[in-house]
Structure 1
Amino acid sequence: MVAAYRTRFLIALDLSAVVLSLAVAFWLQTSSPWMEPRPFMWLTYALLAGGVGLFCTLRMKLHLRIWQYAGVSEMFSILSAALWTGLLPYAAVNILFGWNVPKLILLHHMMGMIFMMAGPRLLWRAFCDKFSTRRRKGSHRALIIGAGSCGTLIAKELLQNETVAVVPVGFIDDDPYKKQLSVYGLPVFGGRDDIPRITETEDIDEIIIALPSVSKSQISHIINICKSTKARLKIVPDLHELIQGQGAVRRVRDVSVEDLLGRDPIRTDLAHIANYVEGKTVLVTGAGGSIGSELCRQIAPFAPDKLLLLGHGENSIYLIEMELLNTFPDLRIETVIADVQDRKRLEDVFAKYRPQVVFHAAAHKHVPLMERNPSEAIKNNVFGTKNVAECADLFGAERFVFISTDKAVNPTSIMGTTKRIAEMFIQSLDKHSKTKYVAVRFGNVLGSRGSVIPRFKEQIAKGGPVTVTHPEMVRYFMTIPEAVQLVIQAGAFAKGGEIFILDMGKPVKIVDLATDLIRLSGYEPGIDIDIQFSGIREGEKLYEELLTNEEGLSSTVHDRIFIGKPMQINRTELEFEIRKLEQVLGQHPEQIRAVLKHLVPSYRNVS
C-alpha cells in the first residue's frame, strides 16, 4: 500500500513538473500565457507535454527508482525524460499546427523540468544521507586508504548502509591531485605519511585499506605505517575476490599476518607443472595435514588421471575428500587409510594404483613433542620416508618429491635430524633408481597445525598473555598456499638428487609477530594484552638456516626456488647406519641421540 502511494506521488510530481515548468517558460516569454491570443496554444501544448511526460516517466521508470541511492544512471534518466518531453511537444505544435513557438520556451521548459524533477529527489537523498549518518553517530569512525574506485565504493556503501556500525570520515590517497578534494562529501586528507597524524586528530577507530590492485609489498608498507596507530586494521581483498562478492563492505576483512609478509603472488610455470601431473596417477601422503591437503587442492586443477589421498587419520582424509569432490566433481579420487610405517600395506597400495608422481608430506613435525618421543619421530620420519621412497622405486614411479624443512640444516632437534636423514636417504636412492628423487626445504608455514599463529590467536581470544619463547627468536615464514605452489613448481625442475630451497623472504622475529597480531586484533601490546617470555623449548634454536656448510646454492629459472648442491652419499654406509638406528629404537634417548649424531655430524643436542 505504501509503495502504491509512493508511486502515485512520484508520477504526480513529475506531471506537475512538466506542466508547471511549461507555464513558467510561457510566462517568462510572454508575461501572460493565458491571455489572448495564446490560451489555446498554451492548453494544447500543456496537454501534449503532459501526455509525453507521462509516457517518458513510465518508460524511464522514474517512479520505480530508489532515490535514496541515486547515482549517475538516475540523473541520466531524468535528463532523457526532460529532453524528450521538451522536444516532442515542441516539434508537434510547430510542425502540425504551424505555430512559431519561440526556442527560448523549449529551453526554459527543459531546464525547468530538470530542476523540478531532480531537485526534490536530490533533497530527499541528501536528507536520508544526513539523517543516516547522524543516527549512527556512536559508530566507529573509519579512515579509508585509497580514494579510487574501490575506496569510493566502500565509502558509498558505508554511508548508505544503516546496519553497518561504521561511518567513513575521509580518505588517504598518495595522488597529489586528489589532496584537499572531497568524494561523497568526505575529504581526502593527504598521503600515506599523514596516516598517523590524521588517525589521531580525527579520532579514527578503524582503518580500511581499499587498494585491491596494489602490490603486496606496497600493502605491507602501508600496514607497517598503520601499525603505529591504535586503530583496528581492515583490508579489501584482491580484485578477483572482490568481483566474486556481492557487496564491497561484506568483502572487507581483518588484516592478517599473511598481509604483513608483503610478498607478491608467485609466478607459476603452468606448462611445466601440467607436463608432469596432467593425466598421471598422483599420490599424496599425509593428505589430511596442512601441507598435504593444500597439495591436493593445488594438484587437482591440473587434471591428474587419479589423485590418491593417503593418510593415517580417517577424519582428516574424509574432510579433504569431501572438499575436493565438491570443488572438482569430475576428479577421480581414491582415499587410502594407511600408516607409512606399514611397509606391507604401502606395497599393496603401490601395486594396486601404480602412482607415477609421489608427494611425500606425511611426517611428525612438532619439535618439543618429538624430543620427548624420539623413537616415534625416527619410525615415522626416517623409516616411513624410507618405505614410501623404496616403494616408489620398486613400482616404477617417475618422480618423488619429499617435503623437508629448514630444521634439517645443522639440526638441534630430533625432528630436524630425522628429516635430514630422510633427505640423505632419497639422495642416495636417486643414484641407483630410474625415479627422480628430490627434496623441497622451507621454513614455517603460517596457519599450519601446531604452528605459532593459531596458538597466539587462541591466547589473544582468551585475553592473554601471549607467550613467546625468547625475545631474539627468529623464523622464516611462508603461507601454506605459496609454499605448496613452490613445492609443485620445484617438482617440475627435478632432474634427480636435488634439494630445492624456497625463498622464504626475510626472517621474522617471533616477538614482532606476536606484537603485530595483538595490534591487528585491535589491542595494545603491554596494555591490553601482555607478552611473556617462557624460555627456549627443548630442541629449538634461535635462528634457522636453509643450507648446510657443504651445500652451495645455485638458481633455477624460477626466482623463488634455488638448488642446494647434491651431496656425495654412500648408500651402503647409509643403510648400515640406518640399521644401527633401527636397533636403538625404544632405548634411552641418549643412546638414540648418539646414533643420530654419528649419522648427522652437524647435529647438536641443545635439550
Structure 2
Amino acid sequence: MHRGLPPSLRDLLRLVPVLILDAAIVLAAYAAALALRFDGDVPGQSIRFFAAVSWFIALAYLTGNFLFRIYRTSWKYAGIVDALNIALSIGVVSMILFAINAFLSPRHIPLTVNVVAPALMLIAMGGIKFWPRLWASRNPFGGYDAGVKNVLIVGAGHTGQLLAREFLQNPRWQYRPIGFVDDDRRLRGVRIHAVTVLGDRFDIPEICTSRQVDLVALAIPSAGGAVMREVVGIVQSTHVPLRTVPGLRDLVRSESEAAQLREVTVDDLLGRDQVEIDAEMCAATIRGKSVLITGAAGYIAAELARQVFAFEPARLHLVDVNETGLYDLERDLEADEQESRISIWLCDVTDPAQVDEVFRQTRPDVVFHAAAYKHIPVMEDHPDAAFRTNVVGTLNVCTAASDHGAERLVFVSTDKAVNPDNVYGATKRIGELLVGAVGNESTTTFAAVRFGNVMGSRGSVVPLFLRQIER
C-alpha cells in the first residue's frame, strides 16, 4: 500500500495509529483523574479548560515518548529497562505539567489530577505496550505436542534462566523445562520464569524418576572439570541423555545461542584452565629466524608448525618421511600467503647423512624435534624400530643442530618417560638423556618438554575411551 513512499514516510504512517492510541490514553487518563477528583461532578470551567489544553497535554506526552525512544522499542522482547523508560517519559512530562499548573491562577485543573493521571496513564500505556510480551508468555507450558521432551536444567544462574526462557518462548523446539537443580540452598523452591528450583545435584535421580525427565541440560558453562565429572556421573546413573550449553569461547567463536545444546565432550570433563602463551617471548624467539620442525606431518608437529608460522619466521622447514602429510600441511599454511616461506624436506631422521645434509642447507636457528614412533602397543612388538627412530634419530638431530650452529633445540618428549614401563617411554627417556648430554658439550641451548595425552592426536588413548563408551 505504501510501497512507493520514502522509507521515512512509510515509518511515520505506520506510527500514526500508535500515536493516536497513546494520545487517547493520555486524554482518557486525565479525564478519569478529573472525574475521580470531583466524584464524577466535574465543574464546567474545568471541562472547558481541559478541552482547550488537551492538545498540549497529549503533545507533551507524545514528545516525551519520542525523546525516550519509546517508539523505537520492540515490545515483544521488552524488559525492565523498557518499562523504566516508559515510567521516566511519563514521569518527566508529568513533573513539567505539574510545575506549569502550580503557577496558574485561577487553577481549573487541581494538582491532584497531575498526580493521579500519570499513574493511570502508566498502567494503561504500559499494559498495552507490554501486551505482545505478555501474550507470548501467556501460558509458559502451552504449545507443545505429544513429542515434547521434559528437560531438567542443571544450574539456575544466568545461563540457566536464559535457557529456560528460550525454551518457553519457542515451544516449537519441543523442549519443556520442568525444573532447575542448583547447589545454592537459598534458591530451593524459587520460581524462575514459572519454573521451580527443585533441589540440588544430588536430587537429580529422584527428580528424573518423579518428573519423567527426558533430557538433562547442563547450564553451568563456568563450572570446573571436577564439578562437571560429578554431575555427569550422577546423570549417567539415571540413564537419561545429557546435553550442555556452549561455553563462552564457543559462543564468541561460532555465534551460537545458549539454547543450542550439544554433547558433553572430553574437554568439558577435563575442565583444565587454558594456558596463556607469552606471545611476545615467542615472537622474539621465532620472528625473522629460520625454524626447522622434524616429524612435521604428525598431529603435534603440524599444529606446532601452524603456531610457529603465525609468528612470521623468515623460513619454516618441515621435515618428515610422509610426502602427503608434508604437502597437505604446506598447502594449508600457504593458503593466504603471497610469497612462500616454507620448505619441505623428505628426510629419515635415522639416516645421519640425510639429517646432516638438511641442516647444512637450511642452517636453522631454532629446531623442534618431534619425529618419533609413539603407538605403545606397536612399539612393544617392534622395539628395534622404536630405538632407531626415538633414540638414534634424536641423536642425529641433536648432533646436526650442534654442528651447524643452531641457537636452540626443543625435544618433544612424553610423560611416559617418567619411570618408564614400556618401550616407548624408555626410548623417549633415553632421548631426554641424549639431549642433556649433547647440550653439555655444545653452544646450542637444548631443552626437552613432556606432553601428556594430547586430545585428538593420533595414538591418543582418549578416542579409544570414547569409542568404548559409545559401544
Report the Cα distance in structure 1 between the residues aligned to 2:68 and 2:254, rounded to whole angstroms: 29
Which residue of 30, 45, 52 corresponds with 2:38?
30
Tell me if 1:78 matches 2:78. Answer: no
2:348–2:355 Cα contact (<8 Å) kept: yes
Match in the other structure for 2:441: 432
Native 8 Å contact 1:13 1:117 kept in 2 = no
Amino acid in the other structure paired with 2:61: G
What is the rounded CA distance, in whole Å, between the counterparts of 2:318 and 2:85 in structure 1?
58
Alignment of 1:198-237 (within 5 A): 198-237=207-246
Once residues 188 and 335 of structure 2 are traced to their aligned partners in structure 1, the CA distance between those partners, rounded to angstroms, is 48
Residue 135 of structure 1 aligns to a residue whose secondary structure is coil
Residue number among 78, 94, 111 corresponding to 1:103 in the alignment: 111
* 2:366/2:409 contact within 8 Å kept: yes
- Cα distance in 2 for partners of 1:166, 1:425 equals 60
1:170 maps to which residue? 179
Structure 2 equivalent of residue 69 of structure 1: 77
Q: Does 1:53 align with 2:61?
A: yes
**Could you tell me whether the CA contact under 8 Å between 1:53 and 1:81 is conserved in 2?**
yes
Structure 1 409/214 Cα, relative in aligned 2: closer, same or farther at 3 Å? Answer: closer
1:430-467 Cα offsets, whole Å, 9 max, x none, are 3322223333334432221243433555x5xxxxxx3x
| Residue 27 (structure 1) shift | 1.0
Conservation of the 8 A alpha-carbon contact between 2:159 and 2:220: yes
CA contact (8 A) 1:7 1:64 kept: no
Q: Which amino acid aligns with 1:113?
A: M
Task: State the partner residue of 1:112.
Answer: 120
RMSD: 3.7
Work out whether residues 307 and 332 of structure 1, in 8 Å CA contact, stay in contact via their aligned partners in 2: no
In the TM superposition, what are the counterparts of 1:474-513 in structure 2 within 5 Å? Answer: none
Question: What SS class does the counterpart of residue 186 from structure 2 fall into?
Answer: coil
Asked if 2 retains the 8 angstrom alpha-carbon contact of 1:358 and 1:397, the reply is: yes
Equivalent runs, 1:114-153 vs 2, <5 Å: 114-130=122-138, 133-137=141-145, 138-153=147-162
Higher relative contact order (CA 8 A, sep 6+): 1
**Match for residue 206 of structure 2?**
197
SS in 1 for 2:457: coil
SS in 2 for 1:31: coil
Query: What's the counterpart of residue 446 of structure 1?
Result: 455
Partner of 2:197: 188
Shift of 1:331: 12
Q: Say which is worse superposed, 427-436 or 406-415, in terms of deviation.
A: 406-415
The question of whether the paired residues in 1 share the 8 Å contact of 2:365 and 2:405 is answered with: yes
Task: Name the stretch that deviates more: 1-10 or 245-254.
Answer: 1-10
CA distance in 2, matches of 1:263, 1:326: 32
TM-score by structure 1 length? 0.65
Give per-residue Cα distances to partners, 1:538-561, cap 9 Å, x unaligned.
xxxxxxxxxxxxxxxxxxxxxxxx
Kindly tell me: are residues 125 and 326 of structure 1, through their superposed partners in 2, closer, same or farther at Cα, counting changes over 3 Å?
farther
What does residue 51 of structure 2 align with? 43
* Distance 1:274-1:199 versus aligned 2 partners, 3 A rule: farther
Question: In structure 2, the residue corresponding to 1:54 is in which secondary structure?
Answer: helix
SS at match of 1:249: coil
**Structure 1 position 30, deviation (Å):** 1.8
Cα 1:181–1:306 change in 2 (3 A) is farther
The equivalent residue for 2:7 is: none
Query: Could you tell which deviates more after superposition, 421-430 or 13-22?
Result: 421-430
Question: Given the superposition, is the C-alpha separation of residues 32 and 409 from structure 1 closer, same or farther in structure 2, using an over 3 Å criterion?
Answer: closer
Cα shift at 1:91: 3.9
Q: 2: CA distance between counterparts of 1:453 and 1:417?
A: 22
Which deviates more, 71-80 or 141-150?
141-150
Matches of 1:113 and 1:325 in 2, distance apart?
Answer: 66
Task: Give the Cα separation in 1 of the matches to 2:362 and 2:435.
Answer: 22
What residue in structure 1 maps to residue 5 of structure 2? none
For residue 350 of structure 1, what is the aligned residue in structure 2? 359
CA offsets, 1:257-306, max 9 Å, x none? 23223444447677776665566443322233221133335556666565
C-alpha displacement of 1:108: 1.5
Cα gap change, 1:188 to 1:451, in 2 (>3 Å): same
The DSSP-based 3-state class of the residue aligned with 1:401 is strand
Structure 2 unmatched ranges of 5 or more: 3-9
Deviations 1:411-448 (A, max 9, x none): 66554454344334334323322223333334432221
Structure 1: distance between partners of 2:447 and 2:315:
22
Are 1:303 and 1:331, in contact at CA under 8 Å, matched by a contact in 2? no
Compute the displacement of 1:212 (Å).
Answer: 3.3
Mark the runs of 5 or more structure 1 residues left unpaired by the alignment.
460-465, 467-513, 519-528, 530-607
- Deviation per residue, 1:13-62 (Å, 9 max, x gap): 32222121111111111234765122222213421222123333344443
Distance in 2 separating the partners of 1:301 and 1:95: 73
Mapped partners of 2:328, 2:95: distance in 1 = 67
Give the 3-state SS of the residue equivalent to 1:158 in structure 2.
helix
Supply the distance in 1 between the matched residues of 2:112 and 2:370 (Cα, whole angstroms): 82
- Find the partner of 1:292 among 293, 301, 320: 301
Take 1:90 and 1:197, find their aligned partners in 2: how far apart are those partners? 60
Which residue pairs with 2:28 in the alignment?
20
Matched, 1:338 2:374: no
Q: How does 1:518-597 map to 2 (within 5 A)?
A: 518=470, 529=471
2:192 & 2:244 partners in 1: Cα distance?
20
Contact 2:292 2:318 in 1 (8 A): yes
